[in-house]
Structure 1
């Protein structure tokens, strides 16, 4: 095919044809599953998005990628960039509406809310509020069926339905948006490497994120709520661990020791599924342990013990070498330096050497190699790379970097890797043992 307008038109037609085929697959699968297809997604039921039909879900993913390509074709470079950066104002309007609880008031009204009512409720002048709501209508977050009357859509209903997801949205709209604006200045400081550099969050707020959340209890509670939601809906780490335990379910009376805590504990999830196992959670934060204990189901209380390690996680009692069958290190190493991580692993290696059946399971984030996934999915992983750099001055390790890290702990370590990825995050489970 040649270049020029004709070739570009052929490309657009090809994309549109492929998109139509994927939409026909979605519609057909919805009909077979007796799920209503959506005439307009923003006003419809969420059934189509929540169904687990693999063929329909794959078609949706492919269609999203095609839409992205088609939109880029139609915009052209100038309009594409204009639209990309202008979304900042959409984010500001949404955050203002969430903070003023305008969306909550609209959702609570069965017949819709008038501009006057909303202005009185949130104490924002009608003239200003109408402009904020107008932009949110354009983005499908709310709808205006008649002049000056606003109703919910499936998008705003999702924010009301899932408080933990809403907390994550608000965290993204405020803390991460402010931090991202300071990434350029953080990188301009020297040194700017991962060891000695400063995070963009610290550049913006004068302290690291966890310190700032501690100093702002309301924001800290929102962040914790957001991370609980992410762990449940977006993080495949627990599922990777569960899959491993299914395969090794024949091991009697397994003693499992887990390190971590900031983003929850796998032990709470696994104890209910594997009653023959005994779990010990070790964490240097009593606050995290207290939160974990509060979430543990009563039926599992004898199964899980919580151990505070105020001096850090690097001390492995000698009795571990005979008692522990499995160590879990979940979502812990992602913001640790290689030196910190290898220090902990080296403390655990004697247990592997003492009892060859012992395993270390590391569940953490992975930065996939470029072009391993379709562009519309890969963008989420590249965002994750920039997110960790911006918020913490750390990096998501690649598979090569993970393997090098384990090799530093002990050159005789053998590694088996399992990966799980969704449209938001790529996670790895690395099973470590010693080569016999």
Structure 2
């Protein structure tokens, strides 16, 4: 795509758009619309791969031609000016104008909105005017504002809306302080300070504990991201489906801060039993609340004094897999190796037991087209800013696992969404083939 002229880019865009139009017509998928009530099939991650691929290619072409047409100065101007768009959206969500319009049937006049929000009409008109430019709301008649498919999506998915608010508040404030955090010394991953702590005075989890409303919002945000954007559960589900045949029928999952895959898998895999082990009773309670009562007899919850607590020897007779989902991303290598070495002891007594680790991966530059890669590069900055931790590359993950036990064989599977790249690493003894 580099070096293409604007007419070449335009021609390719037209070809891709024509392909998508014809595909929708032949398959019965409704063409995209931003009007409220529009069907989401065109944008769904469950759409046919041909349509998803064409849409992704088109977005890359559009980004390229837009940058060429803007030029360097205008590109930078627009790039940084989006800060004001995000500020306006946070007002819209924080004042619950989104819900107010929805309750009134999808549209409301400016007077009602000013009363509901407590924001003066002349200020609110300007805030909503900017949101109209971004198709988040639309002005149907003078002084009447209505929802669009974009704002309606946040009504239909409150967990995703919680993620949007988290991004608009906590991450925006933290990102402003990244430069200051990097200027302080030391500033390495092992002894530096997160930008979140630089801005808020404490680390993120501590701040959320002392601000329970935002803490609850963060938990809902992570649930929403996991449901819609995180391929970790898909990777685990695929591994369990294709797992080696043996008489071991128990899955043990360790972790829980970002939820447990087992709370869903126990309903889907009736031939397996599950055990959740965690050093937090709160995380276990949250997980237990998500389990279908009909599946409760096949899942148990064990509170550990520490996640490093050695597994019971009886695991060798029952456990087919230890699952570690989204746990190691903010652990040091030494901490991760310590836990894995505890579990690897069971593998020596039971070669058909596997350790399954799923976590984020930082891809190498150029592995994905730039308009896709940017999401993964943002993830690198996110972990640095919010926690002063590094998202490991595949090479760094393999180096970590090599320290656990030289007898282990490691197999990797990757899966990516529009916002995150995840790996699944299967650790097993060579004799477990």
TM-score over 0.5 for the pair: yes
Equivalent residues, number: 429
TM-score, length-scaled by structure 2: 0.96
Give the equivalent residue in structure 1 for 2:218.
223
Q: What is the alpha-carbon distance in structure 2 between the residues aligned to residue 312 and residue 253 of structure 1?
A: 23
Further displaced range: 273-282 or 336-345: 273-282
Q: 1:69 aligns with which of 64, 69, 73?
A: 64
The answer to whether the aligner puts 1:157 opposite 2:191 as a matched pair is no
Instruction: Report the CA distance between 1:17 and its aligned residue.
Output: 0.7
Q: 1:232 aligns with which of 222, 227, 231?
A: 227
- Structure 1 contact 314–343 (Cα < 8 Å) conserved: no
Deviations 1:45-83 (A, max 9, x none): 423212612211111111111111011101101110010
The answer to whether the aligner puts 1:101 opposite 2:96 as a matched pair is yes
Q: What is the alpha-carbon distance in structure 2 between the residues aligned to residue 39 and residue 301 of structure 1?
A: 42
Q: How does 1:225-264 map to 2 (within 5 A)?
A: 225-248=220-243, 250-264=245-259
Q: What is the alpha-carbon distance in structure 1 between the residues aligned to residue 335 and residue 157 of structure 2?
A: 36
Give the equivalent residue in structure 2 for 1:358.
353
Q: 1:146 aligns with which of 141, 146, 156?
A: 141
Give the equivalent residue in structure 2 for 1:31.
25
Which blocks of at least 5 consecutive residues in structure 2 are unaligned?
none
Instruction: Report the CA distance between 1:253 and its aligned residue.
Output: 4.5
Give the equivalent residue in structure 2 for 1:13.
7
Q: What is the alpha-carbon distance in structure 2 between the residues aligned to residue 249 and residue 158 of structure 1?
A: 41
Distance 1:125 1:195, change over 3 A: same
Deviations 1:12-60 (A, max 9, x none): 1111111111111111111112122136578844232126122111111
The answer to whether the aligner puts 1:323 opposite 2:318 as a matched pair is yes
Q: What is the alpha-carbon distance in structure 2 between the residues aligned to residue 40 and residue 153 of structure 1?
A: 6
- Structure 2 contact 232–325 (Cα < 8 Å) conserved: yes
Q: 1:58 aligns with which of 35, 53, 57?
A: 53
Q: Secondary structure at the match of 1:55?
A: helix
Deviations 1:160-196 (A, max 9, x none): 1110000000000000010000000111111111110
Give the equivalent residue in structure 1 for 2:336.
341
- Structure 1 contact 262–288 (Cα < 8 Å) conserved: yes
Give the equivalent residue in structure 1 for 2:297.
302
Q: What is the alpha-carbon distance in structure 2 between the residues aligned to residue 94 and residue 417 of structure 1?
A: 40
Q: 1:174 aligns with which of 163, 169, 181?
A: 169
Give the equivalent residue in structure 2 for 1:136.
131
TM-score, length-scaled by structure 1: 0.95
Distance 1:288 1:32, change over 3 A: same
Q: What is the alpha-carbon distance in structure 1 between the residues aligned to residue 65 and residue 367 of structure 2?
A: 21
- Structure 1 contact 360–432 (Cα < 8 Å) conserved: yes
Instruction: Report the CA distance between 1:110 and its aligned residue.
Output: 3.2
Give the equivalent residue in structure 1 for 2:204.
209
Q: What is the alpha-carbon distance in structure 2 between the residues aligned to residue 396 and residue 105 of structure 1?
A: 40
- Structure 2 contact 110–125 (Cα < 8 Å) conserved: yes
Q: Secondary structure at the match of 1:356?
A: coil
Superposition misfits of 4+ residues, deviation over 4 angstroms: 39-44
Instruction: Report the CA distance between 1:312 and its aligned residue.
Output: 3.2
Q: 2:268 aligns with which of 267, 273, 284?
A: 273
Q: Secondary structure at the match of 1:302?
A: helix
Q: What is the alpha-carbon distance in structure 1 between the residues aligned to residue 278 and residue 141 of structure 2?
A: 55
Q: What is the alpha-carbon distance in structure 2 between the residues aligned to residue 252 and residue 424 of structure 1?
A: 38
Further displaced range: 138-147 or 305-314: 305-314
Q: What is the alpha-carbon distance in structure 1 between the residues aligned to residue 205 and residue 395 of structure 2?
A: 29
Give the equivalent residue in structure 1 for 2:362.
367
Further displaced range: 261-270 or 77-86: 261-270
- Structure 2 contact 154–161 (Cα < 8 Å) conserved: yes
- Structure 1 contact 360–433 (Cα < 8 Å) conserved: yes
Deviations 1:380-401 (A, max 9, x none): 0000000001001111110000
Give the equivalent residue in structure 2 for 1:418.
413
